[in-house]
Amino acid sequence: MSSPATTPAADPSGNAEYGHKPFKRARSHFADRITADGRDGWPVEAGRYRLVVSRACPWASRALIVRRLLGLEDALSLAVTDPLQDDRSWRFTLDPDGVDPVLGIRYLGEAYRAREREYDGGISVPAIVDVPSGELVTNDYQQLTLDLETQWTGLQRDGAPDLYPERLREEIDEVMDAVYQDVNNGVYRAGFASTQEEYAEAYRALFRRLDWLSERLAGRRYLVGDTITEADVRLFTTLVRFDAVYHGHFKCNREKLTEDPVLWAYARDLYQTPGFGDTVDFDHIKRHYYQVHTGINPTGIVPLGPDLTGWLSPHHREELGGHPFGDGTPPGPPPAAEVIGAAGRP
């Protein structure tokens, strides 16, 4: 999504208010789906759409990982925004002249208003834009990856894994809902709490759920079944940010990820799996959270730690069995233009 709540804040100057008002995550305003049958007017079509992300955002990171695992790089082009926003939100200042070379726009909000002229709500990532019209198609971060997995099958690479197997969907959905409520969203509810009671409630729910996850993963390599699923993708994007930002910046400090042997090994296992760690940019993550969230970090100082080298250390999770990609194969190396810079990786 976008910065703090990532769906709500259209004007990032409002980030100064976080920590001073109750936190509530808004629903995605544009919930059209891109489907094989085009039921919403948006049929799956190679090269027609552009995925817009911030590498800082955990919700956008889901889409980055799924796109890589399924080999959709050639079918769905990628635009990466600056991790820092100005008063018009997500911007393409990483591109030459500050203009996205495919969409021809300076701000993601331009695609929102191409779709709905008077739109004045939040500008969030991930977002998919229709290239021919320049209109936003969807910012529905919950449904977007599920559709990449189930509707884009005709464009997926040979050997793409099934991240949302039909026989396991009920269990996957149950696990994902628990993770979303207490972990994905829970760290934000703690970090942007405006009262001690609100913070304490979110903090306790977060660590109860992390304890539950640690116990669940102690004897199994993945959350559901014996292969990577969408549930693992959704948990990973929070865990990979935990020590870098959530532990200190969001006051989720009962313990660090590195202090839970099971979750730390699980997160390293996924980070070292092609398609996961090669999409993570710790530099973007830290600069966004610490410099944009001025309501809880008014100095804008970005911490130098933590030491990232541990992400590459042996995890030994393979001893639990399981097959990361099931009957499929790992994705190849990322396209040259999408390789994470040295500042963003161990």
Confidence check: pLDDT of 16 > 70: no
| Count of structural domains within the chain | 1
Q: pLDDT tens digits, residue range 183-194?
A: 999 999 999 999
DSSP code of residue 341: P
DSSP code of residue 101: T
Confidence check: pLDDT of 78 > 90: yes
Distance CA(136)–CA(128), nearest Å, equals 6
| 134 within some domain | no
CATH number at residue 203: 1.20.1050.10
Query: Which carries the bigger pLDDT value, residue 120 or residue 21?
Result: 120
What is the pLDDT, as a whole number, of residue 8?
33
18, 49, 107, 188: which one is catalytic?
Answer: 188
49, 57, 222, 290: which one is catalytic?
Answer: 57
What is the pLDDT, as a whole number, of residue 45?
98
Confidence check: pLDDT of 22 > 70: no
What is the pLDDT, as a whole number, of residue 10?
39
Q: Are strands 77-80 and 49-53 parallel, antiparallel or unpaired?
A: parallel
Mean pLDDT to the nearest integer, 277-301: 97
What is the pLDDT, as a whole number, of residue 3?
43
DSSP per-residue letters across 140-183: -HHHHHHHHHHT-GGGSPTT---SS-GGGHHHHHHHHHHHIIII
Confidence check: pLDDT of 51 > 80: yes
Confidence check: pLDDT of 26 > 70: no
Distance CA(261)–CA(122), nearest Å, equals 38
Q: pLDDT tens digits, residue range 242-280?
A: 999 999 999 999 999 999 999 999 999 999 999 999 999
Q: Are strands 77-80 and 127-130 parallel, antiparallel or unpaired?
A: unpaired
Q: Are strands 135-138 and 127-130 parallel, antiparallel or unpaired?
A: antiparallel
| 284 within some domain | yes
Distance CA(217)–CA(10), nearest Å, equals 38
Confidence check: pLDDT of 9 > 90: no
Binding-site residue ranges for glutathione: 90
The answer to whether 338 touches 332, Cβ cutoff 8 Å, is no
Torsion over CA: 9, 31, 108, 241 (sign): positive
| 230 within some domain | yes
Q: pLDDT tens digits, residue range 148-158?
A: 999 999 999 99
| 296 within some domain | yes
Confidence check: pLDDT of 12 > 60: no
Distance CA(246)–CA(253), nearest Å, equals 8
The mean pLDDT of the chain is 94
| 41 within some domain | no
- At 7, the pLDDT band (50, 70, 90 cuts) reads very low
| 203 within some domain | yes
What is the pLDDT, as a whole number, of residue 133?
98
The residue segments making up the domain with residue 259 are: 164-318
| 335 within some domain | no
Binding-site residue ranges: 90
252 is catalytic: no
Q: pLDDT tens digits, residue range 98-137?
A: 999 999 999 999 999 999 999 989 999 999 999 999 999 9
Confidence check: pLDDT of 320 > 80: yes
222 is catalytic: no
Query: In percent, how much of the chain has pLDDT > 90?
Result: 90
| 269 within some domain | yes
